[in-house]
Structure 1
Amino acid sequence: MFIKLCNLGRDAEVRFTSSGTAVTSFPCAYSIGYGDKKKTQWIDAVLWGERGQKMAQHLTKGTKILLTADDVELEQFQKRDGSQGAKIRCRVIDVEFAGSKQDQSQGQGGYGHHSAGYAPSQRPTPQQPTQQYMPDLGDNWDDDIPF
């Protein structure tokens, strides 16, 4: 599993397989190391299906995201000049927006979970309560715990 805070290097691109499945791809940059040893690493992220197609309009260059992925692999290839090249590819499991570009330019941040049905500006905020079922456990709720 791969989880990184990344910046998108260009707008997401949606293509379709011959069977009609959407394949959304976008390059992400993240930093490794620190100080004078800090460098930028790039990864090509791929998000399959309708979810990626719906999210593509929000996955634009410069957007900061928290990327969760698996199937991370190193793809080696020969460049046009004959030298060897390599790139990292991954299959996206989840994307969380780490603030909008406007928030980032104003120095604000904060993670916002984005699922296929929400635009980033419509995502739930910490002030908006979420509906969760919490059973009434009474005063002696820990009496049933066997340890």
Structure 2
Amino acid sequence: MADLSLYTGIGRLTRDAEVKTVPSGKAVTQFTVASNPSWNKEDPALFMDCQLWGERGNKLSEYLKRGTKVCVHGTLKQDSWMGTDGTKKTRFKVDVSDVSLLDSRKSEAEAQAGDGSQAMPQGYRSAVEAQVAAVFGSPEVRAQSGFGVAQKPTVQKPLGDDFDDDIPF
């Protein structure tokens, strides 16, 4: 069985995500997440370089802006190279498998529009709608069943009104 080094971290992006294309033609989105695991803020912050491969990273890059709070899941990878001074250098990177946007802040464009809604990537929005429909049914089914519609409370009879009639003595 292979060993696995998983990483899950919550933090803020130190810079806007950069999308690059490697010589093989694959797109890679690179960003850095900074987090401070201590409560007293005296310990130094932890900076994790992250890379997200494929089209998903390309689409998410417009939402991965400096200061955005994210939760990153992935596998730790170690890069090694020889420095200019001849010493061996190493660093860790996270090959990201999942990114969750945790910020509730509006983008500048949305704040100027003033509509109060928060935009989500189209793929994410349709995935959420599909999950809701799978659990609760489509909006039409929910409306027909009365799900989510305020209903008048029912009045229960007090216990004990009919109890005296059932006693055999």
TM-score where L is the length of structure 1: 0.64
Give the CA deviation at 1:124.
4.5
Identity, % of aligned positions: 27
Q: Which residue of 2 aligns with 1:62?
A: 67
Larger RCO (alpha carbons 8 Å, 6+ apart): 1
Question: Greater share of strand residues, 1 or 2?
Answer: 1
Larger of the two Rg values belongs to structure? 2
Aligned residue among 121, 133, 136 for 1:131: 133
Give the CA deviation at 1:69.
1.1
1:76, 1:87 within 8 Å by CA — same for their partners in 2? no
Q: Which residue of 2 aligns with 1:117?
A: 123
Aligned residue among 34, 40, 43 for 1:35: 40
1:67, 1:92 within 8 Å by CA — same for their partners in 2? yes
- What's the CA shift string for 1:22-79, capped at 9, x where partnerless? 0110011011233264320101100000111111111110000011111343657647
Cα RMSD after superposing both structures: 3.5
The answer to whether 1:5 aligns with 2:10 is yes
Q: Measure the CA separation in 2 of the matches of 1:36 and 1:55.
A: 30
TM-score where L is the length of structure 2: 0.56
The answer to whether 1:88 aligns with 2:92 is yes
Number of equivalenced pairs: 119
In structure 2, relative to structure 1, the CA distance for the partners of 1:36 and 1:4 (3 Å cut) is: closer
